[in-house]
Structure 1
Amino acid sequence: MFGYYLDLALRSLRRNKALTALMVLAIALGIGASMTTLTVLHVLSGDPLPERSSTLYYPQVDPRDSAGHDSDKEPMEQVSWTDGMNLLQAKRADRQALMTGGTVAIQPTQSALDPFYEDARFATADFFPMFGVPFQYGHGWSAADDDSSARLVVISSKLNDKLFGGKDSTGQMLRLEGTALRIVGVLGDWRPNPHFYDLNVTNYAESEGVYMPLSTSQDLQLAHDGSVDCWGNGGAGPRPDHSATCVWLQFWVQLDSPAQAAVYKEFLVHYSQEQKALGRFQRPPNVRLRNLMGWLDYQMVVPGDVRLQVWLAFGFLLVCLVNTVGLMLAKFMRRAGELGVRRALGASRRALFAQLLVEAGVIGLSGGIGGLLLAFLGLWLVRQQPASYAALAHLDPGMLLTTFLLALGASLLAGLLPAWRACQITPALQLKSN
């Protein structure tokens, strides 16, 4: 019967091409607008490390003085050098990484390339295994390299392509800021979004091109590039003093179970109490331990205008559906004579209802194809914007399927009332009028 209903639907749609085109266009516009904004929201609010996010945590302590103390206030979002090193050396987590960002000047050995600046990440050894960073060539460095401030570096595949034509460059020397460092690894394809491990740079930044031990960056006095928050007599600058009362480092830990997370949070409380007893902290213990997704929610990394656009787009889809309901109602009621004859010949109301819903479904699928094309156009326009997240606006297979399901569901929903009204036609009145 479905094939028969489909044939009737196609015949009906071809009889009034202008009305059919209006209904398909209404569905397409609503689906295109809603799927464009929904895809952007889906990309921006996704889990950057789906297999690891539940075990990654961002500890926070509050080392500030008592000025302006408020017990309900959140602790600081970064850590000082002293606290970062204390927490790192305590080794209370399965893995832990202390880091910050910077920009370094690279002097290529190739004569065809001019010196240029590259974003850098200064981190401790667990950065790579903790975040599951893939390697194309080589490997990261060890804790012993951290301790010895080893002159080595890991570079991104993009930088490796630029400097070495994509070949295995491990063992080669990279000269930056006037110092030669040995390349020990080249990253594979890795660009987690959002840029969760350091949101002070930008929420959706590209991954850095250069990675080196944090201790090495301090020995070479490389400039820090990020947020610095000081209190008391602390002074900010491109190279914060290790003893300054300033926070400027990010600290992440890996805790493989909720029980370990609870124990670690208790450790943070005891650490704060200990530092208060030593006179470093002046406030009562104020700690937080959010997992990766909790940290992103707290930081509200998804731009507010993106969420607003989604609501506006779905409001527009609702308007399109209301118009489609009106058009379908007009179309179905104009076929009252035909439907009355079918009822008189023995077709049940259920059969007529199914026939009209199949017709609505065909309109929805056609609108879905049009909406998909409009969504591709909308996402292309998003990628032309100067926003940091613009390059991420792509339709993945899951959202592609969602587009057709939404179009089909919307059209069937829009067809319910018109189909029901059309099924209430009294056959005798239609036969008499004919």
Structure 2
Amino acid sequence: MFIYYMKLAIKSIRRNIWLSSLMVLAVALGIGACMTTITVNYMMSANPIPHKSDQLFYVQLDNWGPHFPFNDENEPPDQVTWRDANNLMQHDRFKQVAMGTSGGVIESDNREIKPFMAGIRLTYTTFFNLFEPPFLYGGPWQPTADKNSEQVVVLSKKTNQQVFGGENSVGRTLTIAGNRFRVVGVLDDYEPIPRFYDVTTGAFQSPEDVFMPLTLKLPLELGSSGNNSCWKDPDGDGFEGFLMSECINYQFWVQLDNAAEQEQYMSFLNAYVEEQKALGRFPRPLNNRISSVMEWMEIQEVVADDAQIMMWLAALFLLVCLLNTVGLLLSKYATRTADIALRRAIGAPKQAIFSQYITESALIGIIGGVLGLVLALAGIEAVKSMYGDFVSEHVAIDLTMVTVAIALAVISSVLAGCYPAYKACSVPPATQLRNQ
């Protein structure tokens, strides 16, 4: 019976191709707008490390001034100081990592390769264990490299391609920010979306070009980049004086595998802050926090408000399109009252007529959904102007989004067709035939 209804639906669409095309276009426009915004929000809110996102926690310490909080909601600062990052890293009882950002010019020994500016992630070797970026060649540096401030680096795949032509560069050297470094590893493709390990400098930025030990920052006087906030001027002078200030510019993560470890770590943080209070720091009441990956994404509002507003506006636009489709279906079925009355008179039940027209609505939805996907692909190109090339290169309508689009189109079209179909099969056959 379904095949029969489908044949009737195809004939009905062909019989009034212009009106049917308007309905398909209305559905396609609504689905295209909706799927563009849904796809962006789906990508932005994705779990970047699903197998351990409930084990990785972002650490916040409230070192802010005594007279006012870091923000109006009394949240602790979103980063930690150089002093706290290094103090906490001295306790190897927990799997934790401190990190910050810098930059420098990379110079190859090959004179044909022009020097270029690169982003640097200053961190500890535990970064690679906690966040599990894949390696193409080599591996992380040894823990002794952190302790001894060895000049070693891990390169991104892109940087290795630029400097060494994509070859295995482990053991080779290059110049970064005027200093010689030895390559110990090269990452394979690693582009977590969102870039959860540091959302303070942008959740949708590309990962850094170079990774090197954070302990090199002071001896090499490597500059700072990213967000840097202070509640008072540094007490000391020079580069080291700034590092030892209350300015926040570093991110800190810890891996805690169960609730017991979480409690132990919070006790450790509280004890650390109490110790620092005795030294004259941390004037505010205890306000330490640890947040899992997804909690931290929510706190930092990684899914921007404008993206969510756009999604709701697109949903309203889809509703308007469906209301137009309802009007077009009513107009179309109004011209078919004689046919409907005749079928009813020769014994066709209301259910059969209703099913036929609902099938036609579903077919319009399928066609509109496919066309809507094409429009969504075009709409995603507009994302570049909002979130940058890195996001647009990685936003894709995958199988999940295709399924959602078709399902949304069919359900919307069927719902839009229910009232017109009900009106159509409610025509009194005797009255209609007498008027013919």
TM-score by length of 1: 0.95
Deviation at 1:338, TM superposition (A): 1.1
What corresponds to 2:416 in structure 1? 414
For residues 78-126 of structure 1, give each alpha carbon's deviation from its aligned partner in whole angstroms, at most 9, with x where no partner exists.
Answer: 1112211222222343x21111001111111122211111001000111
Q: What per-residue deviation string (whole Å, max 9, x for no partner) do you get for residues 316-335 of structure 1? A: 10000001011111112221
Match of 2:405 in 1: 403
Q: Look up the match of 1:120.
A: 120
Query: What corresponds to 1:101 in structure 2?
Result: 101
Specify whether residues 239 and 245 from structure 1 end up closer, same or farther in structure 2 by C-alpha distance, changes over 3 A only.
same
Map 1:61-210; keep pairs closer than 5 Å: 61-68=61-68, 73-93=74-94, 95-210=95-210
Aligned pairs for 1:19-418 within 5 A:
19-68=19-68, 73-93=74-94, 95-234=95-234, 241-383=242-384, 387=388, 389-418=391-420
Question: Do 1:66 and 1:283's aligned partners in 2 also have CA atoms closer than 8 Å?
Answer: yes
Structure 1 residue 169: Cα displacement: 1.0
Alpha-carbon distance in 2 for matches of 1:165, 1:121 = 22
Q: For residues 376 and 143 of structure 1, do their structure 2 counterparts lie closer, same or farther at Cα, with a shift above 3 Å needed?
A: same
CA-to-partner distance for each residue in 1:28-62, whole Å, 9 max, x for gaps?
A: 11111111111111111211212221111011111
Letter aligned with residue 403 of structure 2: L
AA partner of residue 328 (structure 2):
L
2:204 and 2:387 in contact (8 A); partners too: no
Gaps of 5+ in 2: none
Distance 1:314 1:254 in 2: 39
What is the DSSP-based 3-state SS (H/G/I as helix, E as strand, rest coil) of the residue aligned with 1:104?
strand
Q: Distance in 2 between matches of 1:238 and 1:159?
A: 29
3-state secondary structure, aligned to 1:12: helix
The letter for the 2-side match of 1:66 is P
Specify the alignment match of 1:424 in structure 2: 426
Structure 1 residue 387, shift from structure 2 partner: 3.2
Distance 1:237 1:416, change over 3 A: farther
Amino acid at match of 2:34: S
Are 1:341 and 1:427, in contact at CA under 8 Å, matched by a contact in 2?
yes
Q: How many residues align?
A: 433
Q: How far does residue 361 in structure 1 lie from its aligned partner after superposition?
A: 0.5
Structure 1 residue 282: deviation in Å?
2.0
* Cα displacement (A) at 1:281: 2.4
Given that 2:196 and 2:203 are in contact with CA atoms closer than 8 Å, whether structure 1 keeps it comes out as: yes
Letter in 2 for 1:206: S
Query: Contact 1:276 / 1:283 at 8 angstroms: preserved in 2?
Result: no
Letter of the 2:11 partner, please give it. Answer: R
410 and 143 in structure 1: CA distance in 2 versus 1, 3 angstrom threshold? same
Given the superposition, is the C-alpha separation of residues 40 and 297 from structure 1 closer, same or farther in structure 2, using an over 3 Å criterion?
A: same
Task: Mark the CA change 1:370 to 1:65 in structure 2 (over 3 Å): closer, same or farther.
Answer: closer
Larger deviation, residues 278-287 vs 41-50 = 278-287
Q: 2:183 is aligned with what amino acid? A: I
* Corresponding letter in the other structure for 1:377: A
Alignment gaps of 5+ in structure 1: none
CA positional deviation for 1:240: 6.4
Q: In structure 2, the residue corresponding to 1:208 is in which secondary structure?
A: coil
- The answer to whether the 8 Å contact 1:383/1:392 transfers is no
What displacement does 1:347 show? 1.6
What is the CA deviation profile of residues 152-187 of structure 1, one whole-angstrom value per residue up to 9, with x for unaligned ones?
Answer: 100000111111221111111121122211111000
Contact 1:170-1:186 within 8 A present in 2 as well: yes
Q: Are the aligned partners of 2:99 and 2:121 in contact in 1 as well (CA < 8 Å)?
A: yes
Residue 407 to residue 147, structure 1, CA distance change in 2 (3 Å) = same
Shift of residue 148 of structure 1?
A: 0.8
Overall identity of the aligned pairs, in %? 41
Q: Distance in 1 between matches of 2:188 and 2:207?
A: 11
Please state how far the C-alpha of 1:283 moved relative to its aligned partner.
2.1
8 Å CA contact 2:53, 2:292 repeated in 1: yes
AA aligned to 1:313 is: A
The answer to which of 105-114 and 184-193 deviates more is 105-114
| Aligned equivalents of 1:199, 1:64: Cα separation in 2 | 20
RMSD: 2.0
Letter aligned with residue 305 of structure 1: D
Match of 1:222, SS state, is coil
Question: Shift in Å at residue 69 of structure 1?
Answer: 5.7
Per the normalisation by structure 2, the TM-score is: 0.94
